[in-house]
Structure formats: structure tokens, C-alpha cells
Structure 1
Amino acid sequence: MYPIKKVIIGLDLRELDQTMVEFADFLANAPAVEEIYFVNVIKNLYIPKEVLKEFPDMVENAIKERKNEMETKVAEFSKGEKNAKFHFNVLNGKIADSILKFTKERDIDLIVIGRREKANESGALSQRLARRAACSLLIIPEGTSPKMDRILVPSDFSDYSKLALEEAINIAHSNQNATEITIQNVFTVPTGYHYTGKSFEEFTEVMRKNAVKNYKKFISKFDTKDIKIKAVYSQDTNEDVTTDMIDKAHEINANAIIIGAKGRTSTTAFFLGSIAERLIQLDNDIPLMIVRPKGKNAGFLEFLKEL
């Protein structure tokens, strides 16, 4: 897993900014993080040429004013010493497109955006970025405390699950191993189980034992660095594994969920691409990190879905 060195943090100059700046301070003290770029997007800076001739400094002044607002917000809520350097950038255009373009230009490792309590708008932005970004994405609900000492990692034991666990281990290691990681595997009893001659309860145990076996193979490939890691196995009973994940996150009082962008196995009926999108829709109170291999975005077909 690549180290997170460069981070974008979105500011909207509203109440959510306090949460975002507090998380910026949290990330700024992570050992690997070197640069944090606060960005704010002005949706429309188009000014007719005729008007610009009369007022040539209009765009420059608008950008300068917005940048000053950002710096004031960060100064108000930021506290303490920081290892990372802060930058302030005002972008112009559609929010998602502007952030994605900036991400590519600055070789960003992590995009951090906020989720307001009324999340219709911010939820749609999260979906777009999750589908199209060529790096990882962290979604921060409004009012969340910047803390990651109890992390839930949903896992189907795929390569994408491997990336998610690696990121959780890196975070825990940065936190002086004070973080506890819970790996959750959600399994489903297949429809045709009765053809085996076993009862539903018996085949449930077959599936659980299979998950335990796969977990042991999976975890043996990691250097866990003496971090506390616990595995749990959940049976999906309502054909929506995301509800099992969110329930487990609340049960363990998780302050972060980390999931891979994609991955699937037939034994768990688990598709992380759609699961990540579903979590974005349903998870409104726990920070959610969607880990993607850097430089590998969702591809052209997923891009077309946004049009």
C-alpha cells in the first residue's frame, strides 16, 4: 500500500468546516503526511469579456477573497503543532470535476470530503468521487471527532480487502498501536443448501467454518505489527450486507470504517464496488474510507454513468 503523503480536504465555508479542519490537524500529524491542500470550488467564475475589460481584476479579487475566507476558517479551528504543510487553493467549475483534475495535477493520495447532516448533495458528490477518483477517499460526517482507535474493516479476503486492511494497520501503527481493528466477513447461506441434505443451521455452520479457514489464510500474509486484530463472522439475513456492517460498526463503537473499492467472491456474495456505494448512502455518522490502488480509477464505463 502506498503511503499517504498528499491530501486534499474540501472546505465549503459553512458549519461543516470545523469538522474538516479538526480532521486536517489529525492527519497533519500522521508520520507520512507531508502536504494538505484545502480546496474550495467556485461553481461559476465565468465573466463576459466585455465586463472583464471594464473590471480586469474581478476574477483575481474573487479568488483572493475566497482564499482569505478559507485561511480565516482554518486559523479559527486549527490547533497545535503540525508536521504537514497547509496550502489553500480556490478551484472553478463543477465540484467533482475540479477536485478530480486537481488530484491528478498534484498527484494526491487521499481525498477528504465532508458529509453534512442533510446529505443529499454531499452524498451525491461522495458517490461521484468514489467512482472516479484514482486514489483513496475519506468521507467525514459532520460533527465527527478526529479519532481512529476502533476501526471496522469489512473483508471478503480479496486483494481489495488486503489494501483496506493494510491501510487500517498503517493507521493503527501511526497511533502507537493503540487502535483496535475488527475484520468482519459477511457470509450468505446459498439458496440451494437443502440439496446437500443439511439443515439451514448445519449449512450456516459450514459457511462460517469456510470463512474462518479463509480468514486464517488471509491474515497469515500480513505483518500485523502487534496490533490488536479481531475477526468476526456475520450471517446476512436480509440480502443487504451493508446493514450488517453498519450494525457491527455501531456495536463495537467504531470511529472509522475502511473498505476496498472493489472485490468479490462467490462464497460470500460480497461485491465491494456496490457495497462501497451502498455504505456511502447509509453511513451518516461514522467516517468511511474507500481504499483504491493509486492511479487506478473506476474506468470509462463508470465515468459514463455520471453523464
Structure 2
Amino acid sequence: MEPFKKILVGLDTSALDETLIKYAAFIVDHTSAEKVEFVNILRNLNIPTEVRKEFPELVETAINDRKAKIRESIKSLFKTQKKIKYSINVKKGQAGDLLNIAHKSGSDLIIVGQKKTLDGTGVTTLRLARRASCNLLIVPENVEPKAEKLLVPIDFSNYAKLALEQTIDFAVKNDSIPEIICQNVYTVPAGYHYTGKSFEEFAEIMKKNAQNDFAKFMKKIDKRNIKISDIYSLDTNDNLASDIYDLADEINPDFIIIGAKGRTATAALFLGSLAEKMVNEKMNHPLLVVRFKGKNAGLIETLREF
């Protein structure tokens, strides 16, 4: 189990900041968090040299103004039940600097927003999901923090085990124990018809196999007296990610928690152009991507992608 001791929150002073600050407070109250760093990267401060000479305090003034604005938002929105250290870091730079800051500070969790109607794109969020060396919480706009129902897609790997254990740890810190639902997306292999079975018959065979694997998988999990239910989804379009989001839209979980392996996530959730489209258009629920800390591409390779 890898606790969330240090949390980094990426802000941009848009309306989405309100949601992210509230979620930061919620995570603090339901984890072992000890420190929160609110980070804002100013990306429009490429001031010509001659202008900077004439107005030498322009950059410093812009940074201080931005800090003051963020500080006021934090004072009104960051309501926690425990005393916690927090800091505000505003600097000029590029989107990749957020990862650099997280790396240097040893952050255990990065919280960022996902915009739909607000200005901005999901490209930065997608790259963070691919490259962050720590856990990542992606929060869509206009979502209120709560944890009454948690969805954990699993493939019975060690990364799925990490995701479920993190979910259980998160659940026991809630005042009321949330419902935890494990989803396995199973497929019918190509060539099934050579067995003489119909598609439906072989699908039932694969589902029973998944149910048996789930029973074995749960023997490795300390459930801590929490009820965990299982749901099985048949993938018919070779798109595991859409199966996860389809179920999420049906049962409306407060979080989706997945385990990520290196640069890729369980169920291939963050690969290619399809992933970018999903993060932009279909993400209606907060998504927590958990990693064994440090399992990512090299930092230099990461920054080159921004």
C-alpha cells in the first residue's frame, strides 16, 4: 500500500479550480495526506527583452497577482477536517513543468481537471496520464466530491490488485463505507467457432472463467470487512475503455480507480488518439490512476513530449 502523503494540485485560475480545490480537501480528509502544493504554470509570459528592460517588475507582479488570486480561492474552498500544510507555487513555464515539480517534490498524487465546456483541451491531461510517475486523479468539471460508490476495473493483474487495495484503503477512511464494484471486461477469442460453439455459448464459457479468476483474485485481497461486488462486461467492439465508461454511465460511480502499468494503464485506457477522444468527450466521473511509485518513462523523455 502506497499512501498519499504529498499531493500536488494543478490549477489554472479557471472556474474548474473550485472543483479541484474542493477535491483536494476531500482527498486530504480521506487519506493520509500531510502536505498539499497548489501549482499554477503561467504559459503566456514570453515577454520580449526590450519590454522586460522597460518594465523589469512585470513578471514578478504577474506571479504575485496570480498567487493572491489562488490564495483567496483556497481560503474560501479548501475546507478540511484536519490541519494540513499547503503551499502555493506559481511560476512561468510550460505544461511539462507540472511533472517536473511533482518529481522534485516527491508527490504521491497529482490532481488535475478535465474540461468539457470550459476553455482548454485534454491533451495535457492525457500526457500526464501516460507519463506521471505517481498516482493521478483526473476530475471533470462540475462534479461534487463524494465517495458512495467506487468502480474498479480489474484484469486480475498485480496492478489491478494495487487499484483495489488503494480503493479499500480509501473506503475505510470514509465516515460511511462506500459500495465497491469490480468490473471485468472479458472477450470471446478469435476462432471460437472452430470449437463448434456459438458466440453466445463461448461468451458464457469466458464469463465463467472470469468469475473463477475473480474468486482466486479476491483470496489475495484483504477486504477489511468491506462488501465488494463483481460485474462482468462482454467486449464486442474491441474497445475495453468504452465498456468501462458505458458501465460507469449506467451505475454512476463517484470514482473510477484503475491500476497503471508503466506508461500504459490497465484496459489500455490511455493509448493513442482514441484515449484522447475519450478523456475529452466521455469522461463524466473522476478517474484515479494508481501506480507503483516511479513506474513510468524517464523524466527527460516525459518532458520532451510537452
Q: Is the 8 A contact 2:114 2:279 kept in 1?
A: no
In 2, Cα distance between equivalents of 1:283 and 1:298: 26
Offset at residue 188 of structure 1 (A): 0.9
Residues 1:114 and 2:84 are matched in the alignment: no
Aligned residue for 1:248? 247
**SS of aligned partner of 2:65:** helix
**SS of aligned partner of 2:59:** helix
Structure 2-normalised TM-score? 0.89
Aligned residue for 1:218? 217
Q: CA 1:261 to 1:40, structure 2 compared with 1: closer, same or farther past 3 Å?
A: same
In 1, Cα distance between equivalents of 2:223 and 2:145: 23
Aligned residue for 2:179? 180
Aligned residue for 1:237? 236
Aligned residue for 2:208? 209
Q: CA 1:256 to 1:53, structure 2 compared with 1: closer, same or farther past 3 Å?
A: same
In 2, Cα distance between equivalents of 1:75 and 1:209: 52
Offset at residue 284 of structure 1 (A): 2.5
In 2, Cα distance between equivalents of 1:44 and 1:65: 14
Residues 1:85 and 2:85 are matched in the alignment: yes
Identity across the alignment (%) = 46
In 2, Cα distance between equivalents of 1:85 and 1:190: 52
**SS of aligned partner of 1:238:** coil
Offset at residue 270 of structure 1 (A): 4.6
**SS of aligned partner of 1:83:** coil
Aligned residue for 1:14? 14
Where do 5+ consecutive residues of structure 2 fail to align? none
In 1, Cα distance between equivalents of 2:9 and 2:268: 28
Give the partner amino acid of 1:128: R
Aligned residue for 1:99? 98
**Which string of whole-angstrom CA distances, capped at 9 and with x for unpartnered residues, describes residues 114-161 of structure 1?**
112237834111111011111111111111011122111111111211
CA RMSD of aligned residues (A): 2.6
The 5 Å alignment of 1:156-305 reads 156-176=155-175, 178-262=177-261, 270-274=267-271, 277=275, 279-299=278-298, 303=302
**Which string of whole-angstrom CA distances, capped at 9 and with x for unpartnered residues, describes residues 34-84 of structure 1?**
111111110143445555455443332221111101101222333354432
Aligned residue for 1:133? 132
Offset at residue 292 of structure 1 (A): 1.7
**SS of aligned partner of 1:151:** strand
**SS of aligned partner of 1:191:** coil
In 2, Cα distance between equivalents of 1:157 and 1:177: 27
Offset at residue 259 of structure 1 (A): 0.9
Give the partner amino acid of 2:77: F
In 2, Cα distance between equivalents of 1:22 and 1:292: 23
Where do 5+ consecutive residues of structure 1 fail to align? 264-268
**SS of aligned partner of 1:213:** helix
Aligned residue for 1:266? none
Q: CA 1:293 to 1:281, structure 2 compared with 1: closer, same or farther past 3 Å?
A: farther
Give the partner amino acid of 1:255: D
**Which string of whole-angstrom CA distances, capped at 9 and with x for unpartnered residues, describes residues 164-213 of structure 1?**
11211111111146111111001111121111122222211110111011
Give the partner amino acid of 2:66: R
Q: CA 1:284 to 1:272, structure 2 compared with 1: closer, same or farther past 3 Å?
A: closer
